[in-house]
Amino acid sequence: MTEPCYLGIELGSTRIKAVLVDESTAVVAAGSHTWENKLADGVWSYSLEDVWTGLREAYGALVADFAAAHDAPPVIGCIGISAMMHGYLAFDDQGELLVPFRTWRNTMTAAASEELTAALGFTIPQRWSVAHLYQAVLNGEEHVPRVAFLTTLAGYVHWKLTGERVLGVGDASGMLPIDPATHQWDRQRLEHVQALLDAHSAGISLAGILPGVQDAGMVAGALTAEGARLLDPSGRLQEGIPFCPPEGDAGTGMVATDAVAPRTGNISAGTSIFAMIVLERGLESLHPEIDLVTTPAGDPVAMVHCNNGASEIDAWAGVFGQFAARAGLPLDNAALFSALFSAALEGEADGGGLMAYNYLAGEPITGLAEGRPVVVRTPDSRFSLANFARTLIMSSFGTLSLGMRILAGEGVAVDSMFAHGGIFATKGVAQRLMAAALGTSVSVAETASEGGAWGMALLAAYAANPGGLTLSGFLEGVFRDRVVITESPDPDDVAGYGRFLEAYERGLPVVSAAVASC
């Protein structure tokens, strides 16, 4: 295979995945590495050593996968790096990390978030990089005056591989507000933040420590010799391969579902779960529950981000897997999840009176600073595997439903809603229940389980061959012949989910009590 291929790598919450696509954007090889964040001293983090160990393993597995089907190594025409958005990666002028990586999952910046939101007239969620920076200032952390570069996880990896301190505009929009006219940092709001920093004698120039911002379709550097060795210690990977701008997982989710045009939306379901709706117009009111970010092309997006997604389903599946193995009936993950999810379709529409909360971490949308997974039932609940499985899946959508209700109140219109993530691997289950939760049709493409790594590979292909097209125009060609399965809301499911959500809201004080007592 001698024609160029395009490599997308995404560092997700539980998996680092590498996907290689050919010129038709079909997947020709893939590799992955499983990892997990750690809670140390109250901070959710990943070590930078684990970043590079995982990247090398994922890339190595991809090369081995390609070699199994082809006689020659792949010819890589462009590379793109994606990762979890937001968080805090601060480096000094020698390139040394000043404090352990603070991920999006942390809910330690409430004071900064509230003060910045009020000062800027723009919602600054706790996850955003500027909130983490300002909270460090409010806390009087000694490292702050030594911050010389502030970036995201994707920006960090891109910097180490290319030497370029840049971000794609979608990822940048989760650090600090973006000017919709210029697709650069919002100069006026940046100056407002600088004034706040100066008032606290922070000793840093915000404009000087931020990365540059680039739109999709641009070339954002090339692989250096040092970067090639970091990714492939064997020495077979050669320097000089161009890179597209690094993006966040929200942006690659939009690309992977062809949801970058106004009135389109997508849902990405994994460790977190979030919905992205591309806006025709701005929102009329300020909503703390809604982020205003952008597509990788710089168009405005309303984002409903929930810190907690499918991790609690994974945990319970693990318990059932252990039971099956102990009973002498071991199941692989595919069979285990298929059995669990299929049972959910046999459950009562409202979960039979069961209730579950998937809060492993704090959840700002429901006002929880910390997480406590909780399962609750009353003496007259119908406790069965089917009802329990259905309740677990519906609970992973509960917080998202509350946020989407706000957008509906703003009159935000959506013509199509696409979804992707591993939760959709068992066909027709999570998709059907999500359609009920949203009250709208939900589509899943055949590439849904490839997720953001495939979306990042598409952005790499677009940067290498823009052809004078907008990103939306480029994706129109990519998705023209893709197989898409659409589920419309079933009236009984919708009514049952409505009853479930009412109980979900009423029961939130149970989680607060759990946080306070254990």
pLDDT, one tens digit per residue, over 196-253 is: 999 999 999 999 999 999 999 999 999 999 999 999 999 999 999 999 999 999 999 8
Any domain includes 138: yes
- Name the percent of the chain in helix, strand, coil, to the closest 5: 40, 20, 40
Q: What is the CATH number of the domain that holds 182?
A: 3.30.420.40
Range of the domain at 181: 87-151+176-209
Q: How far is CA 144 from CA 85, 150, 165, in A?
A: 21, 11, 19
Which candidate, 240, 237, 244, 239, places its Cα nearest to that of 73?
Answer: 237
The three state secondary structure string of 268-320 is: EECCCEEEEEECCCCCCCCCCCCEEEECCCCCEEEEEEECCCCHHHHHHHHHH
User: Where would I find the beta strands (DSSP E) of 393-500?
Assistant: 416-420, 442-445, 484-487
Contact between 417 and 440 under an 8 Å Cβ cutoff? The reply is yes
Q: What is the pLDDT of residue 447?
A: 57
Any domain includes 20: no
DSSP bridge partners of 88? 102
Any domain includes 421: no
Any domain includes 136: yes
How far is residue 254's CA from residue 339's CA, in Å, rounded to a whole number? Answer: 30
Instruction: Count CB neighbours of 40 within 10 A.
Output: 10
Counting as low any pLDDT under 50, the low residues of the chain are none
Q: Name the domain count of the chain.
A: 1
pTM: 0.85
How far is residue 268's CA from residue 412's CA, in Å, rounded to a whole number? Answer: 19
Which candidate, 436, 394, 402, places its Cα nearest to that of 417?
Answer: 436
DSSP 473: H
Which candidate, 307, 302, 255, 305, places its Cα nearest to that of 281?
Answer: 302
Any domain includes 337: no
Q: What is the pLDDT of residue 450?
A: 60
Q: What sign for the dihedral angle of Cα 124, 369, 43, 358?
A: negative
Any domain includes 237: no
Any domain includes 204: yes
Any domain includes 267: no
288-333 pLDDT per residue, tens: 888 899 999 999 999 998 989 999 999 999 999 999 999 999 999 9
